[in-house]
């Protein structure tokens, strides 16, 4: 069990090293990447099967107990996200080989993709704030390189702003960490949560509140929340197609995941954070969907939709409580799958018809690709019986239950505008008759990576009941800070100094 918790991190990093060793053979690199990410999927599923909705598993790295050591903790949410992350990398690698048929992506592509996977899994599993920072940096540095790898001037320009903004976010995160440590004396998430609860009960949670505000801003930048999302649409349409699909699926979601942990474990009962997030969530939804409405490039439209979807997630986090967090968990998984799927199809449109919608046309003759677009597009807009419907319903239901009718209204409007955007892409790229006849076919094998994800959306929509039950128990567990703390089995109170030691120190020359 313990080995299972560490292996989603170790396996991709090992795979990255292996892939580097085979750098002269792109085919073997791709094979290594496929096997490694398949391994992560298997590990994720076995963790998920072992934990279910209620279980927790822990590994104390190096055998050092918390607070001196770092613990990796997996609950159902972590296990599910690890599985999905592995699946996204697997799909992206398969997509590049099968759908785009690009020959050589450069010998750094697969190692970086695997390093990114390792970082993402690390961020999903760690129970320590500083360790989370380190995984964020692993993710960022891999993503910097993936973004700038092809070296086109547009990519380099996008990378500069991406790197700078993320550097500032990391600085805010780090200074927040410093303040948390200075005040709480620990960086283990659940322990900080307990100390915060005690401090705010005694009326002096103020200095920790300040630290949490810094963490909140840092996570909001990484998640792409209003008003700090400008870096996202400025960069996500520039990298190669497989890379931007992975970015779209995974990167901002790590920020959202950190926000979930912040509101439920690190700062339980900090109502002001949730009040701020209510406003941020609604504005993020609206700004994202309105931004999408006035774009004309496929990947730019989809980038803005990432932002509006992040808005739903943040709104769900803001509502708080087991039901809302359960809805967020469901939404998160649905969103990663659907968004990656859309970016994969968007990559095909971009590749064969050019980036701007006015030039794209006639893709409807590729029936399978049309299905692979329509399923996630309708799911994103929340049409039943696809997963997006249950996901949106969950958030709206939780909002109505908490009497946050503003969120309900904004969520419904955003859903409608999302449908508008998706129809816009569909009419322009698929429905409009082509100027020239499409000759080559786009068969089952070339479409299979996208169809696979589309099938997952359908299955998740049809099995919404069991999935929702599972996410309900995960949502309840996440709020049980004590369970996470008891797992570490170490008292946080640092005992009084031992007098002999003081004497010992002073007697030294």
Partner 1 sequence: MMAVLISLTAGALVAAAAYLLTGRRLLHLILGAALLTHGVNLAVFASGSIHPDGVPIAPAGATSMPTGIADPLPQALVLTAIVIGFGVLAFLLALSYRVQRSANSDDIDIIAKQGNHA
Least distance between partner 1 and beta carbon 490 (Å): 11
* CA–CA distances in Å: residue 452 to residues 90, 157, 267, 489: 11, 34, 38, 42
Name the residue nearer to partner 1 (CB basis): 436 or 506.
506
Name the residue nearer to partner 1 (CB basis): 207 or 473.
207
Bond into 67 cis (ω within 30): yes
Which residues of this protein are in contact with partner 1, per CB under 8 A? Answer: 68, 130, 133-134, 137, 140-141, 144-145, 148, 151, 153-154, 156-157, 159-160, 163-164, 167-168, 170-171, 174-175, 177-179, 181-182, 494-498, 500-502, 504-505, 508
Least distance between partner 1 and beta carbon 495 (Å): 4
Name the residue nearer to partner 1 (CB basis): 205 or 281.
205
Name the residue nearer to partner 1 (CB basis): 171 or 409.
171
Q: What's the burial of 164, exposed, middle or buried (CB within 10 Å: 0-12/13-18/19+)?
A: exposed
Q: What is the rounded radius of gyration, in angstroms, for the C-alpha atoms of the chain?
A: 23
Bond into 385 cis (ω within 30): yes
Please tell me the distance from the alpha carbon of residue 137 to that of residue 116, in angstroms, as a whole number: 10
Least distance between partner 1 and beta carbon 130 (Å): 5
Please tell me the distance from the alpha carbon of residue 95 to that of residue 227, in angstroms, as a whole number: 33
Least distance between partner 1 and beta carbon 204 (Å): 17
Name the residue nearer to partner 1 (CB basis): 435 or 496.
496
Please tell me the distance from the alpha carbon of residue 205 to that of residue 73, in angstroms, as a whole number: 26
Contact 72, 5 (CB under 8 A): yes
Please tell me the distance from the alpha carbon of residue 140 to that of residue 384, in angstroms, as a whole number: 36
Least distance between partner 1 and beta carbon 208 (Å): 13
Mapping DSSP onto H, E and C, the string for 169-213 reads: HHHHHHHHHHHHHHHHCCCEHHHHHHHHHHHHHCCCCHHHHHHHH
Least distance between partner 1 and beta carbon 21 (Å): 22
Residue whose pair of structure tokens reads 């197609």 in the numeric block: 241
Least distance between partner 1 and beta carbon 423 (Å): 28
Q: Beta-strand (E) ranges in 75-176? A: none
Name the residue nearer to partner 1 (CB basis): 139 or 377.
139
**98: number of Cβ within 10 Å:** 14
Burial 9-20 (b: 16+ CB within 10 A, else e): bebbbbbbebbb
Least distance between partner 1 and beta carbon 225 (Å): 20
Name the residue nearer to partner 1 (CB basis): 438 or 490.
490
Name the residue nearer to partner 1 (CB basis): 87 or 140.
140
Name the residue nearer to partner 1 (CB basis): 68 or 416.
68
Name the residue nearer to partner 1 (CB basis): 45 or 141.
141
Name the residue nearer to partner 1 (CB basis): 234 or 458.
234
Bond into 293 cis (ω within 30): no
Least distance between partner 1 and beta carbon 164 (Å): 6
Which 3 state secondary structure label does DSSP give 128?
strand
DSSP string, 47-83: HHHHHTTT--EEEEGGGPPTTTS-EEEE-HHHHHHHH
Least distance between partner 1 and beta carbon 506 (Å): 8
Name the residue nearer to partner 1 (CB basis): 237 or 446.
237
What tokens does 183 get? 């005040």
Least distance between partner 1 and beta carbon 494 (Å): 5
Name the residue nearer to partner 1 (CB basis): 28 or 170.
170
Please tell me the distance from the alpha carbon of residue 356 to that of residue 32, in angstroms, as a whole number: 35
Contact 265, 478 (CB under 8 A): yes
Least distance between partner 1 and beta carbon 105 (Å): 20
Residue whose pair of structure tokens reads 């949502």 in the numeric block: 475
**Closest of 411, 125, 83, 398 to residue 261, by C-alpha:** 125
What tokens does 27 get? 């085919």
Please tell me the distance from the alpha carbon of residue 445 to that of residue 284, in angstroms, as a whole number: 37
Least distance between partner 1 and beta carbon 176 (Å): 10
């Amino acid at each position: 069990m313990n080995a299972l918790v560490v292996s989603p991190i170790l396996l991709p990093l090992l795979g990255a090293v292996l892939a580097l060793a085979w750098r002269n053979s792109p085919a073997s690199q791709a094979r290594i990447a496929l096997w490694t990410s398949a391994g992560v999927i298997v590990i994720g599923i076995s963790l998920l099967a072992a934990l279910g909705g209620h279980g927790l598993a822990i590994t104390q790295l190096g055998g050092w107990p918390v607070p001196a050591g770092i613990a990796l903790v997996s609950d159902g949410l972590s296990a599910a996200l690890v599985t999905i992350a592995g699946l996204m990398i697997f799909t992206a690698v398969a997509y590049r080989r099968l759908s785009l048929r690009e020959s050589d992506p450069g010998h750094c592509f697969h190692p970086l993709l695997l390093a990114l996977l390792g970082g993402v899994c690390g961020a999903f599993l760690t129970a320590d704030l500083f360790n989370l920072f380190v995984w964020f940096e692993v993710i960022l540095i891999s993503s910097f390189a993936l973004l700038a790898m092809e070296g086109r001037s547009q990519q380099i320009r996008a990378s500069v702003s991406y790197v700078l903004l993320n550097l500032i976010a990391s600085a805010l995160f780090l200074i927040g960490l410093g303040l948390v440590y200075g005040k709480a004396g620990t960086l283990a998430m659940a322990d900080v949560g307990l100390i915060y609860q005690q401090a705010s009960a005694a009326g002096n949670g103020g200095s920790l509140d300040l630290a949490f505000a810094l963490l909140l801003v840092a996570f909001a930048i990484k998640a792409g929340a209003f008003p700090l999302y400008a870096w996202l649409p400025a960069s996500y349409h520039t990298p190669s197609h497989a890379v931007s699909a992975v970015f779209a699926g995974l990167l901002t979601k790590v920020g959202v995941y950190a926000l979930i942990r912040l509101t439920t474990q690190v700062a339980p009962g900090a109502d002001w954070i949730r009040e701020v997030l209510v406003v941020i969530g609604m504005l993020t939804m609206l700004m994202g969907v309105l931004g999408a409405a006035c774009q004309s490039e496929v990947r730019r439209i989809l980038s803005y939709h990432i932002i509006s979807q992040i808005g739903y997630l943040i709104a769900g986090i803001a509502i708080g409580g087991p039901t809302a967090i359960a809805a967020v968990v469901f939404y998160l998984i649905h969103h990663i799958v659907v968004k990656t799927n859309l970016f994969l199809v968007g990559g095909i449109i971009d590749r064969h018809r050019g980036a701007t919608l006015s030039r794209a046309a006639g893709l409807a003759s590729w029936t399978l690709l049309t299905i692979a677009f329509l399923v996630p597009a309708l799911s994103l807009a929340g049409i039943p019986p696809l997963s997006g419907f249950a996901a949106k319903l969950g958030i709206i239901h939780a909002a109505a239950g908490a009497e946050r009718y503003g969120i309900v209204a904004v969520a419904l409007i955003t859903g409608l505008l999302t449908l508008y955007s998706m129809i816009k892409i569909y009419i322009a790229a698929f429905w409009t008759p082509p100027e020239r006849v499409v000759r080559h076919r786009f068969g089952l094998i070339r479409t299979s990576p996208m169809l696979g994800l589309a099938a997952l959306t359908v299955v998740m929509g049809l099995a919404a009941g069991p999935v929702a039950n599972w996410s309900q128990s995960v949502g309840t567990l996440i709020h049980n800070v004590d369970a996470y703390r008891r797992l570490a089995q170490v008292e946080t109170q640092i005992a009084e100094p031992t007098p002999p030691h003081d004497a010992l120190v002073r007697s030294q020359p």
